[in-house]
Amino acid sequence: MPYIRILRPVNILMLALGVALGFWLSHAPGGPAALVLPVLAAMCAAGFGNVVNDLADIATDAISHPTRPLVAAELSRRSAKAYASLLAVLSLSCGFAASPAHGIGTLAPIVLLFGYALFFKATPLSGNILVSALVAYGPLFGGMPGNGLHRLYVPAALAFLLNISREIVKDIQDLPGDRAAGYVTTASLAAPTLKAIIAACGALYALLVFVPFLLRDFGLTYVLVCLITVAPLHTYWSVLFYRSDIRQTAGKISSLIKYEMVFGLAAMAADGLVGLQGLKV
C-alpha cells in the first residue's frame, strides 16, 4: 500500500525500537502503558518527515527512486499533503498527551524535518547533520523521563556518527537525480573531502564504541555482541567504501550501515536483558 510504503516502514520500526529501548534502559517510570504514546508520537513524526521529503523530492526521485509512490503516481500530491498534515497532528497529539515535555520534544523534530525537506537537504553537510541528530534523538526521546538517561548519551553519539556516513553515502547514491533537480548536496563535494569526513566519523565511532562499557553503563554482553556483529560490519563497509566504486556500491554500503545500527541496538538490549536476569537471580 502506498500509504505504508511512503512511510519507510523498516526505518519507522527501527525508530520505534530505539524509542522503546531508550525508555527501558533509562528506567523511565510508568511501565509499558507510559511507552505507547511516546512511541506513536515518534513514529508519526518520522512518517511526516518522510512524506514531506518525498513531496519535495519528486523531481529527483523520478531518476533515483522511480518506484516511490508519488513518482509512480500511486499517490497524488494532494493526498500526500493531507496525509502529512494528519501525521503531524497525530504526532503532536500523542506527544502532548504523554506529557508537556514529550509534546515539546515532538514539536522540535516536526519543525526540523519540515525545514530539512524545504531547505537543508540541498545544503552540503547541514542536512546530513540534521537527519543524523534526529536519528540519535530517538532513544533520548524515549528515555527523557528516566533517571538513567545518562546511559544513552554515548550510544546517541555513536548513532549520530554512524548515520552521518550513511547520509553521505545516500547522497552519493542520489547524485544523478539531485543534479538534475539542481540540488547541491554533500555528494557534490570533492571525493577526498567525502572520504576524509567518513574516515573521521568512522575513526571516532571506533574509539567510542566501547566507552559505554568503560563508563559501566553497559556490561560484557554489550562488548561481546559489538565484537561479534558491530565491529565486523563496520570494518567491512569501511573497506568497501575505500576500495570499490562508491557509485556502484552505495546501496549496499547504506544497507550495511543500517544493519550495524540494528546490531548496536541489539547489543544494548541484550545487555539490558542479562542485567535484568541478574537482578531476578
DSSP label at residue 146:
-
DSSP-derived secondary structure letter, 184 = -
Q: Give the relative orientation of helices 33-56 and 77-98 as an angle to the nearest 10 degrees.
A: 150
The grid coordinates of residue 234 equal 563496520
- Nearest to residue 205, comparing CAs of 262, 164, 245, 246? 164
List the chain domain ranges: 2-280
Asked if pLDDT for residue 35 goes beyond 60, the answer is yes
Contact 74, 110 (CB under 8 A): no
**Average pLDDT, whole number, for the chain?**
89
Find out whether 91 and 39 touch, Cβ atoms under 8 Å.
no
**Separation between Cα atoms, residue 2 and residue 254, nearest integer Å:** 23
Least confident of 47-51, 175-179, 217-221: 175-179
More confident residue, 160 or 179: 160
C-alpha to C-alpha distance for 202 and 253, rounded to whole angstroms: 13
Element (H, E) at 1: none
Query: Tens of pLDDT along 98-153?
Result: 999 999 999 999 999 998 888 877 778 888 899 899 999 999 999 988 899 999 99
CA angle, 246 as apex, 57 and 244 as ends, to 5°?
A: 165
**Residue 15 in contact with residue 138, Cβ under 8 Å?**
yes
Q: Who's near 239: CB < 8 A, 6+ residues apart?
A: none
DSSP 8-state secondary structure symbol assigned to residue 120: G
Q: Is residue 281 scored above 70 in pLDDT?
A: no
Q: At what angle do helices 246-280 and 153-173 cross, to 10 degrees?
A: 160
- pLDDT for 222 equals 96
pLDDT at residue 205 above 50?
yes
Question: Is 220 in contact with 213 (CB distance < 8 Å)?
Answer: yes
**Does the pLDDT of residue 278 top 60, yes or no?**
no
pLDDT at res. 159 = 94
Task: Give the span between the Cα atoms of 281 and 278, in whole angstroms.
Answer: 5
pLDDT at residue number 208: 95
| Verdict on whether the full-model pTM lies above 0.85 | yes
Which pLDDT score, from 0 to 100, does residue 126 have? 86
Alpha helix positions (H), the chain:
2-5, 9-25, 33-56, 58-64, 77-98, 100-118, 126-142, 153-173, 175-181, 191-208, 211-214, 220-225, 231-243, 246-280
Report which residue type is found at 80. A
Mind listing the pLDDT tens digit for each residue in 230-268?
A: 999 999 999 988 887 777 888 899 999 999 999 999 999
Helix axes 33-56, 100-118, angle to 10 degrees: 10
